[in-house]
A and B are shown apart, each in its own frame.
Chain A
Amino acid sequence: MIEIKNLHATVDGKEILKGINLTIRPGEVHAIMGPNGSGKSTLSYVLAGREGYEITKGSVEYFGQDLLAMEPEERAGAGVFLAFQYPVEIPGVANTTFLKSALNAIRKQRGEQELDAMQFLKLVREKTKALNMTDEMLKRAVNVGFSGGEKKRNETLQMAVLQPKFAILDETDSGLDIDALKIVAEGVNALRSPERAMLVITHYQRLLDYIVPDYVHVLAHGKIQRSGGKELALELEKNGYAEFGVNEAA
């Protein structure tokens, strides 16, 4: 599905990614664990197409296409989804308007018919219920006045509505208490399928108790230092990132 080869990226002239290699097949859930500043968020933004990152070397192939040549909206249309670590607040745009615009934009890109207001409402009601979200949250402006947990649930709702092929979850656990984490993880797990792949980016092992990965990779100093099964996460939880030349005080 996605093949990242020797990916190098710089921000403001500083090299953050120093040769990432990663192949993900349909149905797989990969976790990337790493300390602060290891390049985790840079990787997710580069894959989603945010401006401000310069790719100096390497390639990313997505279903045989050059992902890095695509605009962010084209990537979304092709099924790439980034669940943001810090979901953006958009005053003045109702959550439903946003969701409907997004879904119909993607359907249009896929050559599918756009949903009318009634069809959309039916779909979105179904999804919100599963995530324990209220209609009121749909009427509010996008993420404005949402708690940390509500924002992450809103990200999960978007994923459930847009049905991506490849979802990147960037620090989805940050700012969540255990109950909120469980709700979000349930929402994510419900989306696991043989056609869909996920890349779960996290600092802590905790999230991986709820979203159990098939593979775990350790990212440090802009490179994947080690790869293994889910047991690697437990090892990291015990020993920290010291083995990879990273000293984290807390």
Chain B
Amino acid sequence: MATTTTSHGTSPGPSRAPEAAPRGFDPATARPFLEQFDRLKADLPGGSLSWVRDLRDQGRARFAQLGFPTVKNESWRYTNLRALDKLAFQPAVAAETGVRFDVLPTVRAAGTSGPRLVFVDGRFRAELSSTAGLPAGVELLNLADALTHKPDLVGEHLGRLATPDDLPLVALNTAFLADGPVLHVPQGVEVAEPVELVFVSVGSDEHPTSFHPRTLIVAEDNARVVIVEHHVGLGTGATLSNGVGEVFVGANASVHHYKVQREHTNAFHLSHTAAKVGGHGVYDNFILTTGAKLSRNEVRSTFDGEHGDIHVSGAYMVRGDQHVDTSTFIDHAVPCCTSREVYKGVIDDTARAVFQGKILVRPGAQKTDGYQQNRALLLSETAEIDAKPELEIYADDVKCSHGATAGELDDQQLFYLRARGIDKEAARGLLIGAFLAEALDEIPEEGVREAFQAYVSAWQNAR
């Protein structure tokens, strides 16, 4: 493999793509992962099922054609994955032992418990997980188990929403597809307790470690569920979490899907979520990011029936040399749907944030109501935000607006607080907290909002 490029800059490296590669991809970067896959694939769960093998092979084939995206790719202009190529990741081994988990993150009140699945380096840890308290008929299990024992539960949905296409990371995840949470809520069932999904990155001190968790969430018609994903890091080795999630929201169903990513700063966190929302359905997604060296959350959601409601929001806080990318795509494929996006970010030191938000209103999608806002607060001269809001509208009776702002803390507000005796650091803290609180207010679930608020405070206090 000709890994001649070592710089992390944005200048294009020497061309080493074979003639077949589409522009903006680097197929050479695929090789180590393909070799690993070929060694591993016989041992992956569900290998006796032809449809599973086909799915993986399609993923492998597409990733072989594409490799990782480069900054020449419009969707990856501001997020450079070249560092991944240099790190020589090894796939996580299944049996990770010797790590103790005394306190796993939770949004629940102390002393209470509820349904929870725990994954360590992408692999399920049954002894830390529980399905207690779920209503009858609700399935909550790990994908490896589902592929082995209940393939029909996932066969209808797996790989249908997140397809490799021009998405090499989805292709890579699909090739390595092995484990991750599966949640199936049958028609009309409301799950009262939030379902917590805990992903712990441990890695290894010997070598960089990669894993590819796959999430499948199906809420049938009139179902309701709240999901909270925690992504945390233990250990110090470099890790790559390349997750893909598929979320099916049935007619008049509602899925509240919240995520907090607090991985350590040697972690690469790449995540792709694809959601489809039926008529009168609600998909409510919120992502809080404070962790990882480099992270990207890509959320793509599509309306599949009229009067649907998609709400994708988040808050990100980065410092040091962290990089955080939020890329959203909302597809108003049918009329009379509402989408709302509110993102707020605080960027300090030399950290960098990217926000790409696209709203597509297809022909005939009349009475669409789309709102998008990204506001960034830059705390240092060297902090950076690249924002690219995009509205693409092919219908004439629509209401769509977007706004992107970037600014510093307000001098007048700072002085007002200081003139009342509040010292400079505390005054800055109050203003930053207030700025982020506006994003957290987008979370309708009170318990989750309060827990996330505590993560925000912890980030502020970690200065």
**A interface residues, Cβ below 8 angstroms from B:** 48-51, 71-73, 75-77, 81-82, 84, 87-88, 90-93, 97-98, 101-103, 105-106, 109, 141, 158, 162
Contact A92 B437 (CB under 8 A): yes
Contact A71 B418 (CB under 8 A): yes
Contact A101 B424 (CB under 8 A): no
Point out the residue from A92, A97, A98, A105 that lies within 8 Å of B423, measured CB to CB. Answer: A105
What distance in Å separates the Cβ of A144 from its nearest Cβ neighbour in chain B?
11
**B397 on interface, CB distance cutoff 8 Å:** no
Contact B435 A102 (CB under 8 A): no
CA distance A88 to B414 in the complex (A): 10
Q: Which of B389-418 contact A (CB under 8 A)?
A: 411-413, 415-418
Q: Would you give 8 A-B contacts (Cβ < 8 Å), ordered by A?
A: A88-B416, A91-B438, A92-B433, A105-B420, A105-B421, A105-B422, A105-B423, A162-B420
CA distance A26 to B156 in the complex (A): 82
**B88 on interface, CB distance cutoff 8 Å:** no
On chain B, the residues within 8 Å of A162 by CB distance are 420-421
Smallest Cβ-Cβ distance to B432: which chain A residue: A92
What distance in Å separates the Cβ of B376 from its nearest Cβ neighbour in chain A?
16
Point out the residue from A72, A77, A93 that lies within 8 Å of B415, measured CB to CB. Answer: A72
Contact B418 A76 (CB under 8 A): yes
Contact A88 B413 (CB under 8 A): yes
Smallest Cβ-Cβ distance to A86: which chain B residue: B412
CA distance A90 to B432 in the complex (A): 11
Contact B415 A51 (CB under 8 A): yes
Contact A101:B419 (CB < 8 A) given known A73-B424, A92-B435, A92-B437: no
Contact B418 A73 (CB under 8 A): yes
On chain B, the residues within 8 Å of A92 by CB distance are 433-435, 437-438
Point out the residue from A71, A82, A97 that lies within 8 Å of B424, measured CB to CB. Answer: A71
**B426 on interface, CB distance cutoff 8 Å:** yes
Q: Which secondary structure dominates where chain B touches chain A?
A: helix
Contact A102 B422 (CB under 8 A): yes
**B430 on interface, CB distance cutoff 8 Å:** yes
Contact B421 A76 (CB under 8 A): yes
On chain A, the residues within 8 Å of B134 by CB distance are none
Contact B423 A88 (CB under 8 A): no
Q: Which of B416-463 contact A (CB under 8 A)?
A: 416-424, 426-427, 430-431, 433-435, 437-438
What distance in Å separates the Cβ of A100 from its nearest Cβ neighbour in chain B?
10
What distance in Å separates the Cβ of B428 from its nearest Cβ neighbour in chain A?
12
On chain A, the residues within 8 Å of B427 by CB distance are 73
Point out the residue from B426, B434, B438 that lies within 8 Å of A105, measured CB to CB. Answer: B426
What distance in Å separates the Cβ of B410 from its nearest Cβ neighbour in chain A?
8
Contact A98:B417 (CB < 8 A) given known A51-B411, A73-B423, A105-B426: yes
Point out the residue from B411, B412, B418, B434 that lies within 8 Å of A93, measured CB to CB. Answer: B434
CA distance A50 to B416 in the complex (A): 9
Interface residues on B, range: 20 to 34
Contact A73 B415 (CB under 8 A): no
Contact B415 A98 (CB under 8 A): no
Point out the residue from A72, A91, A103, A141 that lies within 8 Å of B418, measured CB to CB. Answer: A72
Contact A84 B418 (CB under 8 A): no
Residue from A49, A81, A98, A103 having most chain B Cβ neighbours under 10 A: A98
Contact B413 A90 (CB under 8 A): yes
On chain A, the residues within 8 Å of B431 by CB distance are 90, 93
Contact A93 B420 (CB under 8 A): no
What distance in Å separates the Cβ of B375 from its nearest Cβ neighbour in chain A?
12
Contact A102:B420 (CB < 8 A) given known A88-B412, A88-B413: yes
Contact B430 A101 (CB under 8 A): yes
Contact A76 B416 (CB under 8 A): no
Contact B419 A72 (CB under 8 A): yes
Smallest Cβ-Cβ distance to A101: which chain B residue: B422
What distance in Å separates the Cβ of A103 from its nearest Cβ neighbour in chain B?
8
Contact B433 A87 (CB under 8 A): no
On chain A, the residues within 8 Å of B412 by CB distance are 88
Contact A90 B421 (CB under 8 A): no
Interface string of B213-249 (1 = CB under 8 A from A): 0000000000000000000000000000000000000
Smallest Cβ-Cβ distance to A77: which chain B residue: B421
Contact B416 A84 (CB under 8 A): yes
On chain A, the residues within 8 Å of B411 by CB distance are 51
CA distance A229 to B203 in the complex (A): 79
CA distance A91 to B410 in the complex (A): 11
CA distance A91 to B377 in the complex (A): 14
Q: Which of B20-40 contact A (CB under 8 A)?
A: none
CA distance A82 to B415 in the complex (A): 11
Contact B434 A91 (CB under 8 A): yes
On chain B, the residues within 8 Å of A75 by CB distance are 419
Q: List 5 A-B pairs, minimum CB-CB distance, nearest first.
A: A92-B434, A76-B421, A102-B420, A106-B421, A88-B416
CA distance A98 to B427 in the complex (A): 10
Smallest Cβ-Cβ distance to B423: which chain A residue: A73
Contact B420 A158 (CB under 8 A): yes
What distance in Å separates the Cβ of B439 from its nearest Cβ neighbour in chain A?
10
Contact B420 A98 (CB under 8 A): yes
What distance in Å separates the Cβ of B438 from its nearest Cβ neighbour in chain A?
6
Contact A101 B438 (CB under 8 A): no
Residue from A49, A73, A77 having most chain B Cβ neighbours under 10 A: A73
CA distance A77 to B421 in the complex (A): 6
Smallest Cβ-Cβ distance to A88: which chain B residue: B416
CA distance A87 to B415 in the complex (A): 11
On chain B, the residues within 8 Å of A88 by CB distance are 412-413, 415-416
What distance in Å separates the Cβ of B429 from its nearest Cβ neighbour in chain A?
10
On chain A, the residues within 8 Å of B422 by CB distance are 73, 101-102, 105
On chain B, the residues within 8 Å of A98 by CB distance are 417, 420, 430
On chain B, the residues within 8 Å of A84 by CB distance are 416, 419
Smallest Cβ-Cβ distance to B435: which chain A residue: A92
On chain B, the residues within 8 Å of A87 by CB distance are 416
On chain B, the residues within 8 Å of A141 by CB distance are 434
What distance in Å separates the Cβ of B342 from its nearest Cβ neighbour in chain A?
13
On chain A, the residues within 8 Å of B437 by CB distance are 92
On chain A, the residues within 8 Å of B420 by CB distance are 73, 76, 98, 101-102, 105-106, 158, 162
